[in-house]
Structure 1
Amino acid sequence: MTKLIKFGGSSLANGEQYQKVINIIKSDENRQIIVLSAPGKRFSDDIKVTDLLIDYATKVINKNDYQDILKNIIQRYQDIADTYDISDKEFAPIVNIFKQLPDKDYLNNDYLMAAFKAHGERMNAKLMAIILNHLNISAKFVDPKELGIVVSDENPNAADVLDETYENLGHFGYGYEKLVIPGFFGYTKNDDIATFARGGSDITGSIIANGLNIPMYENFTDVSSIYSANPKIINHPVSIKKMTYREMRELAYAGFSVFNDEAIIPAIKGNVTINVKNTNLPDEPGTLIVPEGSFQPEHPITGVSSSNRFSALYLHKYLLNKEVGITLKLLTIFQKYNISYEHMPSGIDDLTIIFDKDNLDKPTIKKLCNDIQETIKPDKLSWIDDYAIIMVVGEGMRDSANTISDIIEPITNDNIPIHMINQGASQISIMIGTREANANQAVKSIYKEFFNKEK
């Protein structure tokens, strides 16, 4: 069974980490397709290669001297190459490609930035292929262009994969060689490089696993599993052995950051099983992310997460529920400022609109509130900037009539005010709104109720 394996930046930060990756590749002959990120931090105060490339691109755009940052970038790869005694002749193409980046033609500065960033992954995959062959492991560098990964051109630094990519991958053939593929980017129909947004290499892994009909996608990172709660909030939380795609998506929405929730979508469409594993402890089983069809939950809930990235607008108006067209009026205002809302829980006289605060600034908030006050004329209007959302998720919720009360009781016992409760239509998640200052304690209360009692 062919496996696709993907390694994150921390797994590829230096020669020592590279050797761990190579040992993993060698340990299973089925690990044939390898997707790589750019080298990450070697230590806590280090700089990721992608950030160095952003600095390089910025200096080129501003016509500033970039020789020092260029030397730093090349040295990061040189240090890894030196670990394996790669000759200057073999390494020279990587040096030349980095040096030639400023001389290429780009549609605009956004495309320049995307191309510079993408070369962190691109050169890392080239280097890995050189090293594997040097170690007598037959390997081939494969560029996303050769695979036929075609992406949108509206935003070159936050591109979306186009459907024709999967048809192209369906025609791609490969043999006995290890295929080493850079993550994070694809090519527009005009053959310009464009990068994905968050979790770009994870997205590439999912796309290729889907397109090549690969049943197992092993995603290697720096943790041994996905946990039932944030280890920064709960000491030694329970590891999740197996979870469904939609559980992962729901938990990632409110803070689970091990695996980007958007990156999982191509894998969902391809029915690919994902195994999140630890590069530093590769023999540990990790966490399986599987389709929900035959999944049998072992517990009522799988995990609890929280996020403070939200703000909320609360408005009160008598007979609000009788006013025709109020939602349309609100949506028209949101469209005016090009913002989207996350949730809109309501009562007969009250309405709360929840936003991702990363998409708003203070001037926009002020204009938004003024327009709503003028258009809707509420009796009360207030902005809540310290809003938090807690997600309690589990496929087992559907089979337990008491889950909601079991979630709410420990929160209320700890005198934590609840501002919103919403159960998803899938019946596998409960969303709770509270203030930012109370979010961590709410997570602790829920975790203790479900997981400490099970021990």
Structure 2
Amino acid sequence: MKVAKFGGSSVASAEQIKKVAAIITDDPAKKFIVVSAPGKRNKDDFKITDKLIEIANRHCQGEPYGHLTETIMMRFSEILDQLNLSSAIAEELHQTLEEALGSNEYDSPKVDIVKSLGEVFSAKVLSAYLTSIGLNATYTNPETAGIIVSDEPGNARVLEESFANLYALRKNSGIQIIPGFFGYTKAGKLVTFSRGGSDITGSIVAAGVKAELYENFTDVDSVFTVNPSIVYRPKQISTITYKEMRELSYAGFSVFHDEALIPAFNVGIPVCIKNTNNPEAPGTMIVAEKEPTEQCVVGIAGDGGFCSLYVSKYLMNRELGFGRKLLQIFEDEHISFEHAPSGIDDMSVVIRQNQFTAEKERIILQRIQDELNVDTIKIHRDLAMIMVVGEGMISTIGVAQKATKAITDANVNMVMINQGSSEVSMMFGIQEVDLNRAVQSLYKAFFE
């Protein structure tokens, strides 16, 4: 028995939904289907969820949003018409959206309800179409399925009792279509995961029903060793471990949400990345362990939008609790850190730049000076983090030397170097403008 999740590009149009239906029809083992909201039909198109978020923001600010509602309605109506389905689903969408926006009071839970509607009606459309072609398909709301999450709007986490609830779904007959991206709190409030969270739902469902395989369908044949927009026709990855994939996803591999592997990993369910447009391609298998190979590095990923705060203080190493106090200041300001490399008298905290607003910067710098009495504080903005990833690095001599030489050969200055404690990854901090050049040089060194 398999769980399959279809991303936004896979349900972006009637033509794509027919491909999804064919994939489901060809494999009776696919009993649980998780779907995203309709995504882009081409590079210049829009994502339904983006429009829903814009509607929520406009409503909150008292600005008109009727034209956005019409755009969403036209998209769904077009899909329904081309699938020869009733327009009742589109009418229900319109009514549900208006009810969610009914009052002038607007808060984060209501924003989450609006954001979730793309997935809800994508699942209803697919369920109706599968039924129309003779399959026994049922729309299953996450509340009915028993997906219980923490009360953190826009950043929910699944609670343990969800998995037992989901296992009970195995006794149901037919194919169950579940919208991704959200669950319900114990109090019955709809709450969404972080953006891209339909991958998380798919993994949760796979773990809950104890599937033999979780297939994640997207618009690429496999995971690549590096971003194809940076390197032309890079090598494909046939097998990768959970740890390796999580490191790559965190560092900019957009093919898979970086939190989505955890539920599947915890119960040992393999994950396969597949292409809706080319379902015969073998894809990339994500597994707990794999046989060692000569290729110690499995992939290279890079992502921009970081900044680092550097502090130095003489005899920092002898000051009990300095690191904890520094990180506590960030926690108090609700800023999570990504990396924290340190030396005997200095320490850096790497964070996402969009969290470090001018107001946050003023508060944090003042608190560090007042509470920690440091000698130096510096902020480096517009940084990129490059991750060289591979479990084989732990037993291979010369990986760091090879990587640093490649970056140097690209005439790129390294601001920071950090070896992950898991020894699965090596991180290099550089200026964001140098990202593509550095990644291309690293790819040449390790894969060509």
SS in 2 for 1:342: strand
| Cα distance in 2, alignment partners of residues 86 and 320 from structure 1 | 68
TM-score, scaled to structure 2:
0.93
Q: 259, 271, 274: which is aligned to 2:271?
A: 274
The alignment covers a number of residue pairs equal to 448
Offset from partner CA, 1:416-436 (integer Å, 9 cap, x none): 332332222322211122222
Kindly indicate whether residue 213 of structure 2 is the aligned counterpart of residue 204 of structure 1. Answer: no
Offset of residue 319 of structure 1: 3.0
- Residue 44 of structure 2 aligns with an amino acid whose one-letter code is D
- Which residue does 1:255 correspond to in 2? 252
Offset of residue 298 of structure 1: 4.9
Are residues 70 and 421 of structure 1, via their aligned partners in 2, closer, same or farther at CA, if it must alter by over 3 Å?
closer
- Which residue does 1:384 correspond to in 2? 380
| Cα distance in 1, alignment partners of residues 59 and 359 from structure 2 | 32
| Cα distance in 1, alignment partners of residues 325 and 104 from structure 2 | 42
| Cα distance in 1, alignment partners of residues 24 and 207 from structure 2 | 21
Q: 324, 330, 333: which is aligned to 2:326?
A: 330
Offset of residue 181 of structure 1: 1.1
- Which residue does 1:214 correspond to in 2? 211
Offset of residue 268 of structure 1: 0.9
Are residues 323 and 69 of structure 1, via their aligned partners in 2, closer, same or farther at CA, if it must alter by over 3 Å?
closer
- Which residue does 1:5 correspond to in 2? 4
SS in 2 for 1:167: helix
| Cα distance in 2, alignment partners of residues 401 and 168 from structure 1 | 48
- Residue 49 of structure 2 aligns with an amino acid whose one-letter code is T
| Cα distance in 2, alignment partners of residues 321 and 365 from structure 1 | 25
| Cα distance in 2, alignment partners of residues 83 and 380 from structure 1 | 64
- Which residue does 1:419 correspond to in 2? 415
Offset of residue 278 of structure 1: 1.2
Offset from partner CA, 1:28-61 (integer Å, 9 cap, x none): 2212211111111223333222222233434554
Offset from partner CA, 1:194-252 (integer Å, 9 cap, x none): 11112211111000000000021111111111111111221111111110000011112
- Which residue does 1:195 correspond to in 2? 192
- Which residue does 2:366 correspond to in 1? 370
SS in 2 for 1:191: coil
Are residues 99 and 365 of structure 1, via their aligned partners in 2, closer, same or farther at CA, if it must alter by over 3 Å?
closer
- Which residue does 1:159 correspond to in 2? 156
| Cα distance in 1, alignment partners of residues 270 and 24 from structure 2 | 19
The 5-angstrom pairing of residues 302-451 of structure 1 reads 302-451=298-447
Answer yes or no: is the 8 Å Cα contact 1:209–1:270 preserved in 2. Answer: no
| Cα distance in 2, alignment partners of residues 45 and 11 from structure 1 | 16
Are residues 318 and 97 of structure 1, via their aligned partners in 2, closer, same or farther at CA, if it must alter by over 3 Å?
closer
| Cα distance in 2, alignment partners of residues 422 and 91 from structure 1 | 51
Offset from partner CA, 1:104-124 (integer Å, 9 cap, x none): x89952121111221211111
- Which residue does 1:227 correspond to in 2? 224
Kindly indicate whether residue 168 of structure 2 is the aligned counterpart of residue 171 of structure 1. Answer: yes
Offset of residue 95 of structure 1: 5.1
- Which residue does 1:238 correspond to in 2? 235
- Which residue does 1:147 correspond to in 2? 145
- Which residue does 1:18 correspond to in 2? 17
| Cα distance in 2, alignment partners of residues 89 and 234 from structure 1 | 46
| Cα distance in 1, alignment partners of residues 313 and 65 from structure 2 | 58
- Residue 250 of structure 2 aligns with an amino acid whose one-letter code is Y
- Residue 147 of structure 2 aligns with an amino acid whose one-letter code is I
Offset of residue 262 of structure 1: 0.7
Offset of residue 66 of structure 1: 4.8
The 5-angstrom pairing of residues 41-52 of structure 1 reads 41-52=40-51
Answer yes or no: is the 8 Å Cα contact 2:93–2:117 preserved in 1. Answer: no
Are residues 381 and 156 of structure 1, via their aligned partners in 2, closer, same or farther at CA, if it must alter by over 3 Å?
closer
- Give the gaps of 5 or more residues in structure 1: none
Are residues 280 and 347 of structure 1, via their aligned partners in 2, closer, same or farther at CA, if it must alter by over 3 Å?
same
| Cα distance in 2, alignment partners of residues 97 and 402 from structure 1 | 59
SS in 1 for 2:414: coil
Are residues 391 and 91 of structure 1, via their aligned partners in 2, closer, same or farther at CA, if it must alter by over 3 Å?
closer
Offset from partner CA, 1:349-388 (integer Å, 9 cap, x none): 3322222212110222133223323444444322111222
Offset from partner CA, 1:169-214 (integer Å, 9 cap, x none): 1222344411111111111222221111122111110000000000
Are residues 409 and 166 of structure 1, via their aligned partners in 2, closer, same or farther at CA, if it must alter by over 3 Å?
same
Kindly indicate whether residue 68 of structure 2 is the aligned counterpart of residue 69 of structure 1. Answer: yes
Q: 121, 132, 135: which is aligned to 1:134?
A: 132
More divergent stretch after superposition (66-75 vs 237-246): 66-75
Offset of residue 440 of structure 1: 2.5
Identity %: 41
Offset of residue 100 of structure 1: 4.0
Answer yes or no: is the 8 Å Cα contact 1:398–1:428 preserved in 2. Answer: yes
SS in 1 for 2:280: coil
Offset of residue 287 of structure 1: 1.0
Answer yes or no: is the 8 Å Cα contact 1:158–1:195 preserved in 2. Answer: yes
| Cα distance in 1, alignment partners of residues 230 and 315 from structure 2 | 42
| Cα distance in 2, alignment partners of residues 328 and 169 from structure 1 | 39
Answer yes or no: is the 8 Å Cα contact 1:244–1:295 preserved in 2. Answer: no
Answer yes or no: is the 8 Å Cα contact 1:242–1:289 preserved in 2. Answer: yes
- Give the gaps of 5 or more residues in structure 2: none
Answer yes or no: is the 8 Å Cα contact 1:90–1:130 preserved in 2. Answer: no
Answer yes or no: is the 8 Å Cα contact 1:70–1:99 preserved in 2. Answer: no
